[in-house]
């Protein structure tokens, strides 16, 4: 990431460039979610691993709206939810349980995103979940897991079942609950969640219309999944997508310190 002079100067003493860059990128992601309306009061999380050998993660300060999150007020935590260093803010430890399970289990899960959007929960409430019969769901169903609902508070004893449900997938519908994506970067996790969200939006609307939906064959779904590699991490297109939505939302990193 190109860092302006202002961003370099505003970096707290003793913090690595890599952590500061991660904080800025994660703060930007929270602002994007706010822009898209993917927020639920002060709840839900986007978490990002701090580069380095320690398994430390950044999470939103509990009590703030997403548009109030900055690089500086993000809270650094260990996998058990203990806060690392000083923080004026606490975290929602119960909410972190889902994220910490996935961060601990999957080395490729540098970023984990979870939402409670209306259409996401609506599809999550349906026994058949997401059908692969629209442009986006045909992509998503190739790499989608499901986890059964065990109650609104996820306790640590649910973590092994959660990661078993996830397996090697990169997206998961938490039944009756919401959507989750992961990726090696913010941009990758965002691209996956965008596709899931669009898939759910379209399914909710098409199911409300008269007439039958057209079924897509497994072959077409698989071809759709392969085709999405054209926007995958190797192409740089995910970062282009993420950067473009920052511009559209008017989010400048200089304003996020
Ligand atoms: Zn949730």
How far, in Å, is the centroid of ligand 1 from the Cα of 163?
A: 15
For the chain, 257 residues long, give each residue's pLDDT as a single digit of tens: 678 888 989 999 999 999 999 999 999 999 999 999 999 999 999 999 999 999 999 999 999 999 999 999 999 999 999 999 999 999 999 899 999 999 999 999 999 999 999 999 999 999 999 999 999 999 999 999 999 999 988 889 999 999 999 999 999 999 999 999 999 999 999 999 999 999 999 999 999 999 999 999 999 999 998 888 777 778 899 999 999 999 999 999 999 99
The string of DSSP letters for 157-216 reads GGHHHHHHHHTT-SEEEETTTEEEEEESSHHHHHHHHHHHHHHHHHHHHHHTSSSPPPPP
How far, in Å, is the centroid of ligand 1 from the Cα of 180?
A: 9
How far, in Å, is the centroid of ligand 1 from the Cα of 122?
A: 13
> Residue written as tokens 């860092």?
3
Strand 171-174 relative to strand 144-147: parallel, antiparallel, unpaired?
Answer: parallel
pTM over 0.85: yes
- CATH number of 176's domain: 3.40.225.10
How far, in Å, is the centroid of ligand 1 from the Cα of 155?
A: 12
What is the Cβ-side half-sphere exposure of residue 38, based on CA atoms within 13 angstroms? 24
How far, in Å, is the centroid of ligand 1 from the Cα of 94?
A: 10
Q: Give the domain extent around 174.
A: 5-255
How far, in Å, is the centroid of ligand 1 from the Cα of 223?
A: 31
pLDDT given at position 256 = 97
pLDDT given at position 3 = 83
pLDDT given at position 1 = 66
Q: Which residues surround ligand 1, an ion (CB under 5 A)?
A: 178
Q: What is the total count of domains within the chain?
A: 1
pLDDT given at position 240 = 95
Q: Is the dihedral of CA 105, 150, 121, 93 positive or negative?
A: negative
The phi, psi pair for 111, rounded to 5°, reads: -125, 130
b/e sequence 154-166, b meaning 16+ C-beta within 10 Å: beeebbeebbebb
pLDDT tens digits along 8-63: 899 999 999 999 999 999 999 999 999 999 999 999 999 999 999 999 999 999 99
How far, in Å, is the centroid of ligand 1 from the Cα of 14?
A: 34
């Amino acid at each position: 990431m190109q860092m302006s002079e202002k961003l370099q100067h505003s970096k707290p003493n003793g913090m690595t460039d890599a952590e500061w860059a991660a904080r800025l990128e994660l703060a930007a992601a929270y602002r994007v979610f706010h822009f898209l309306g993917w927020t639920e009061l002060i709840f839900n999380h986007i978490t990002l691993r701090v580069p380095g050998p320690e398994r430390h993660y950044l999470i939103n300060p509990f009590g703030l709206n997403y548009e109030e999150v900055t690089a500086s007020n993000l809270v650094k935590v260990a996998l058990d939810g203990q806060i690392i260093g000083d923080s004026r803010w606490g975290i929602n430890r119960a909410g972190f349980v889902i994220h910490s399970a996935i961060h601990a289990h999957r080395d490729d899960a540098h970023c984990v995103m979870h939402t409670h959007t209306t259409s996401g929960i609506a599809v999550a409430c349906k026994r058949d979940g997401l059908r692969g019969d629209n442009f986006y769901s045909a992509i998503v169903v190739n790499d989608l897991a499901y986890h059964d609902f065990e109650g609104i508070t996820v306790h640590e004893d649910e973590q092994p079942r959660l990661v078993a449900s996830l397996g090697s997938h990169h997206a998961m519908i938490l039944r009756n609950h919401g959507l989750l994506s992961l990726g090696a970067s913010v941009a990758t996790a965002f691209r996956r969640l965008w596709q899931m969200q669009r898939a759910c939006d379209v399914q909710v609307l098409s199911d409300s219309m008269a007439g039958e939906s057209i079924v897509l064959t497994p072959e077409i779904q698989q071809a759709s999944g392969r085709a999405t590699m054209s926007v995958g991490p190797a192409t740089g297109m995910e970062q282009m997508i993420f950067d473009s939505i920052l511009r559209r939302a008017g989010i400048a990193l200089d304003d996020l310190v």
